[in-house]
């Protein structure tokens, strides 16, 4: 694939800053009880969401997991309606009925997330089934973590996707921990991409904090899917810099490990590339961050000034 | 009217809906070769194997795949070979399929039909015989239908496929080879409408699926004793045509609910609660239930006969309901 030019790189950086700022704002709002519930932040994993979605079209479909605010933003969801959904307000994408783990933003192709680990992998196959039958070259992408790699749905789905040559891309964000437990305590298969090998699916393991490496692998996977060559599996090695959920003290991780991964922060890495190889000024880089923070501030204000859902909404839309 | 078996009626319903709407797909184990009972026989030849799709034995993922396809506009009909195996798809059906419309604030519609068959018959044992409808009545977002004859099997299936909600379509293996008249033309039976199978004055018996025919046999016998039984077949278990049931009970003042599933936690318990809340002061006797003992379905034929509720149990329950008063003249 072509090396992205300076404008494209800056756009990737901006998107990552928007996700980072959004997640930091959510964390702040959780602390103030302006957002309640189970909230899982993707701080540190922005390069996967942005890297993948930057190569998709508006009519491609993506599916998330429980840590998917970033995926929705990367696919083009509106920040205000997203934040309002997290805050349980009526102006949220789902009118407050979904929340952080059940985001749906169909207008941009974010079909759904899930509170069940591995739960959206079969759903993504369904989307890919539709894409294949319609024959318009659309693809479906599903994001999940290393914890999903031990779920039955994961293995069944890899098998069927391979068998039926479905245009689906499996993006495994291997952040090393399934909730509070390191991957090594759940499986002896340390490279989850090996499972794809078992099911004859082209696969690769990449540095998930290196956005250009993520894009390189996605580019090839998207090409294959659009050409009718079937599924691909991309394992992105990454790390969440926050706990499993907001409020998780994270005592199961060594501080040294956290410090080590902070050094590999995906935003800092792309920033270094822009500085060294494109001589982007500090001012321009700062601006990418401050613009993102402004957008997120406005989203937060929109959410908090939005009305709560009316009592009658509690059992509306149970049936279509 | 045309004479059809229950299997033929289902097949006709599938074929007509696949002809009518190119977004209807059939998926399941062995469906392209007709499945173990021949329900989908000939559909692959008629519509091609891209629309009548054989799947691996991966119920959870196949149901999930169908949910995913359904929210993007297809109308998949999944055959889960035995209702017993739907346990493997509970996450996809209950956590995803049933809730996506609500959780998405109405952005997604799960236009999905799941065909299952169940019931104890032929000594097939605890994994191929269960009646599990009650589990699904507890899940907001799902519709559940259980046809008792070929005409309803066809008409309800067509309604289920056209419905924008996930519908669990429960067939009874014991009805597969039974015959009945099926109306010609585009015969659609609306979901949520009960059917009066026999009019009576003294006791309302509510039965569905295979138990309808058993209840009618019981009613025939009771008539010789001067007890007039009204038999109502709800056809659709969720949504339930509560109005028809309530009207009948207001008239007869007595209700016996019959199902093949185990009694405890069955649909009878829920219905009894709802009915007594609505018509307590009209009742002349406690609401009685007939169902299977609280045990897995046994394999031995001798035991299976004791497990499945029969005519005698219904007759006994009706007599018991009448025990406190005399039959109305």
Domains of chain A, by residue range, sit at: 6-300
**Mutation to test the B interface, candidates A65, A108, A127, A156, most B Cβ within 10 Å:** A156
* Residues of chain B predicted below pLDDT 50: 324-329
C-alpha–C-alpha distance, residues B44 and B23, integer Å: 15
**B10 and B154: one domain?**
yes
Q: Are strands B143-145 and B236-238 parallel, antiparallel or unpaired?
A: antiparallel
Give the mean model confidence (pLDDT) for residues A137-161.
97
| SS3 state of residue B203 | strand
Is the CB of A156 less than 8 angstroms away from the CB of B58?
Answer: yes
Where among B139, B154, B182 does a domain terminate?
B182
Residue A303's CB is within 10 A of a number of other CB atoms, namely 25
> What confidence score (pLDDT) does residue A2 get?
82
Clarify whether residues B19 and B159 are in a common domain.
Answer: yes
What was the pLDDT predicted at A212?
97
The predicted pLDDT at position B327 comes to 47
Model confidence at A255, in pLDDT bands (50, 70, 90)?
very high
Q: Is residue B245 part of a domain?
A: yes
How far apart are the CA of A155 and the nearest CA of chain B, in angstroms? Answer: 9
Task: Find chain B residues with C-beta within 8 A of A133's C-beta.
Answer: 50, 74
Question: Looking at residue A1, what is its pLDDT?
Answer: 83
Same domain, B9 and B119: yes
To probe the interface with A, which of B101, B107, B159 has the most A CB atoms within 10 Å?
Answer: B107
The answer on B278 and B219 residing in a single domain is: yes
User: What is the pLDDT, as a whole number, of residue B312?
Assistant: 97
pLDDT at B252: 98
Q: Tens digit of pLDDT for each residue in A2-37?
A: 889 999 999 999 999 999 999 999 999 999 999 999
Output the pLDDT for position B326.
Answer: 46
Single pTM value for the model? 0.97
Q: Taking an 8 Å Cβ-Cβ cutoff, which residues of chain A contact chain B?
A: 61, 63, 92-98, 102, 104-106, 111-112, 114-116, 119-127, 129-130, 133, 140, 152-153, 156-157, 159-160, 163, 315, 317-320
Candidate from A94, A106, A125 with C-beta closest to B65: A125
- Among residues B158, B182, B206, the one where a domain terminates is B182
Cross-chain residue pair A153–B108, CB shorter than 8 Å: no
Asked if residue B65 and residue B43 are part of one domain, the reply reads: yes
What burial class does residue B131 get, using C-beta atoms within 10 Å of its C-beta: 0-12 exposed, 13-18 middle, 19+ buried?
Answer: buried
Kindly state the average pLDDT of the residues A183-193. Answer: 94
Q: What is the pLDDT of residue B329?
A: 42
Inter-chain residue contact A317 with B105, CB threshold 8 Å: yes
Of B70, B99, B107, the CB nearest to A106: B107
What whole-number distance in Å separates Cα of residue A55 and Cα of residue A69? 18
Residue B59 is assigned to a structural domain of this protein: yes
Whether residues B264 and B174 share a domain: the answer is no
In a domain, B313, yes or no: yes
B59 noted as active-site residue = yes
Q: Are residues B248 and B163 in the same domain?
A: no
The minimal CB distance from B141 to the residues A102, A160, A318 is found for A318
Same domain? For B156 and B204 the reply is: no
CA distance B106 to chain A (A): 6
Domain total of chain B: 2
User: For the segment A267-316, what is each residue's pLDDT rounded down to a tens digit?
Assistant: 999 999 999 999 999 999 999 999 999 999 999 999 999 999 999 999 99
Which residue, B153, B182, B211, sits at the end of a domain?
B182
Are residues B218 and B177 located together in one domain of the fold?
A: no
Which of B27, B65, B109, B191 best tests the A interface by mutation, with the highest count of A CBs <10 A? B65
The architecture in CATH of the region A6-300 reads 3-Layer(aba) Sandwich (3.40)
**Which helix (H) or strand (E) covers residue B218, if one does?**
helix B211-224
Answer whether B60 sits within 8 Å of A160, measured CB to CB.
no
What distance in Å separates the CA atoms of residue A210 and residue A206, rounded to the nearest whole number?
8
- Mean predicted confidence (pLDDT) in A193-216: 98
Look at residue A186 in the predicted model and tell me its pLDDT: 94
The whole domain housing B10 covers: 2-182
B113 found inside a domain: yes
- The kind and range of the H/E element at A47 are helix A46-53
Active site residue B128: yes
Q: How far apart are CA B55 and CA A230, in angstroms?
A: 17
Report the pLDDT value the prediction gives residue B56, as an integer from 0 to 100.
98
With respect to residue B248, please indicate whether it lies within any of the assigned structural domains: yes
Answer yes or no: is B173 within a domain: yes
Average pLDDT over residues A39-54: 97
Among the partner-chain residues B61, B100, B141, the one whose CB lies closest to the CB of A153 is B61
pLDDT of residue A3: 85
Find the closest chain A residue to B66 by CA distance: A126
* pLDDT score of B259: 98
In order, the DSSP letters of A269-309 are: HHHHHHHHHH---HHHHHHHHHHHHHHHHHHHHHHHTSPPP
Edge-to-edge order in the sheet of strand B113-118: B52-54, B24-28, B75-80, B113-118, B167-172, B143-145, B236-238
pLDDT for the residue numbered B321: 97
CATH for B126: 3.40.50.970
Higher per-residue pLDDT: A250 or A15: A15
Let me know whether B172 and B266 are in one domain. no
Alpha-carbon distance B49 to nearest alpha carbon in chain A (angstroms): 12
Of B68, B72, B101, the CB nearest to A320: B101
Task: Write the CA distances from B284 to B202, B246, B249, B258, B316, integer angstroms.
Answer: 10, 14, 10, 19, 17
Shortest CA gap B40–chain A (Å) = 21
Q: What is the mean pLDDT of residues A85-97?
A: 98
Provide the CATH number for the domain around residue B286: 3.40.50.920
For residue B105, what are the contacts with CB-CB under 8 A and spacing of at least 6?
A92, A93, A94, A95, A96, A97, A98, A104, A317
Q: Is B253 part of any domain?
A: yes
Q: Which of B59, B79, B171, B230 is catalytic?
A: B59
The reply to whether B225 falls in a domain is yes
């Amino acid at each position: 694939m072509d090396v992205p030019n300076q404008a494209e790189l800056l756009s990737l950086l901006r998107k990552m800053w928007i996700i980072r700022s959004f997640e930091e704002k959510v964390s702040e709002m959780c602390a103030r009880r302006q957002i309640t519930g189970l909230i899982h932040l993707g701080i540190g994993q922005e390069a996967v969401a942005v890297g993948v979605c930057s190569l998709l079209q508006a009519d491609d479909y993506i599916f998330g997991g429980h840590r998917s605010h970033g995926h929705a933003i990367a696919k083009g969801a509106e920040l205000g309606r997203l934040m309002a959904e997290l805050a349980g307000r009526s102006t949220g994408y789902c009118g407050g009925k979904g929340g952080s783990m059940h985001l749906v933003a169909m207008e941009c192709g974010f079909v759904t997330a899930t509170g069940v680990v591995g739960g959206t992998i079969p759903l993504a196959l369904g989307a890919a089934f539709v894409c294949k039958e319609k024959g318009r070259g659309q693809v479906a992408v599903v994001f999940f973590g290393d914890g999903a790699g031990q779920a039955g749905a994961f293995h069944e789905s890899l098998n069927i996707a391979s068998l039926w040559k479905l245009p689906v891309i499996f993006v495994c964000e291997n952040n090393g921990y399934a909730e509070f437990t390191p991957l090594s305590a759940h499986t002896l298969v340390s490279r989850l991409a090996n499972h794809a090998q078992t099911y004859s699916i082209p696969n690769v393991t990449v540095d998930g904090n290196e956005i250009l490496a993520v894009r390189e692998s996605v580019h090839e996977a998207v090409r294959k899917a659009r050409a009718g060559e079937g599924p691909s599996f991309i394992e992105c090695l990454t790390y969440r810099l926050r706990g499993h959920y907001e409020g998780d003290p994270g005592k199961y991780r060594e501080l040294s490990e956290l410090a080590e991964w902070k050094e590999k922060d995906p935003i800092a890495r792309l920033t270094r590339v822009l500085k060294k190889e494109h001589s982007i000024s500090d001012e321009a880089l700062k601006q990418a961050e401050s613009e993102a923070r402004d957008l997120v501030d406005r989203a937060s204000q929109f959410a908090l000034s939005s009305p709560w859902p009316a009592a009658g909404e509690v059992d509306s839309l149970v049936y279509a | 009217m045309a004479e059809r078996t229950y299997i033929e009626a289902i097949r006709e319903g599938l074929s007509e809906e696949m002809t009518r709407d190119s977004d209807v797909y059939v998926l399941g184990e062995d469906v392209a070769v007709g499945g173990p009972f021949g329900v989908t026989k000939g559909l692959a030849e008629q519509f091609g194997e891209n629309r009548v799709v054989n799947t691996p034995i991966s119920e959870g993922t196949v149901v999930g795949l169908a949910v995913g396809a359904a929210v993007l506009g297809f109308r998949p009909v999944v055959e889960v070979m035995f209702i017993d195996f739907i346990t493997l798809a509970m996450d996809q059906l209950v956590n995803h399929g049933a809730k996506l419309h609500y959780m998405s604030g109405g952005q997604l519609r799960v236009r999905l039909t799941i065909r299952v068959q169940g019931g104890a018959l032929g000594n097939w044992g605890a994994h191929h015989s269960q009646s599990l409808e009650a589990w699904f009545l507890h899940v907001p977002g799902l519709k559940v239908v259980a046809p008792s004859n070929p005409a309803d099997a066809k008409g309800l299936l067509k309604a289920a496929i056209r419905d924008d909600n996930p519908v669990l379509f429960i067939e009874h293996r014991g009805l597969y080879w039974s015959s009945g008249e099926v109306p010609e033309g585009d015969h659609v039976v609306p979901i949520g409408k009960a059917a009066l199978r026999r009019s009576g004055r003294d006791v309302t018996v509510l039965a569905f699926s295979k138990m309808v025919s058993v209840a009618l046999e019981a009613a025939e016998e009771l008539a010789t004793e001067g007890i007039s039984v009204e038999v109502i077949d709800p056809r659709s278990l969720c949504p339930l045509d509560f109005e028809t049931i309530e009207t009948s009970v207001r008239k007869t003042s007595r209700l016996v609910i019959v199902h093949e599933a185990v009694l405890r936690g069955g649909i009878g318990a829920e219905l009894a609660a709802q009915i007594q809340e609505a018509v307590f002061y009209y009742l002349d006797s406690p609401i009685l239930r007939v169902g299977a003992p609280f045990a897995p379905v046994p394999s031995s034929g001798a035991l299976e006969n004791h497990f499945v509720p029969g005519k005698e149990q219904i007759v006994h329950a009706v007599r018991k309901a009448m025990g406190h008063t005399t039959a109305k003249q």
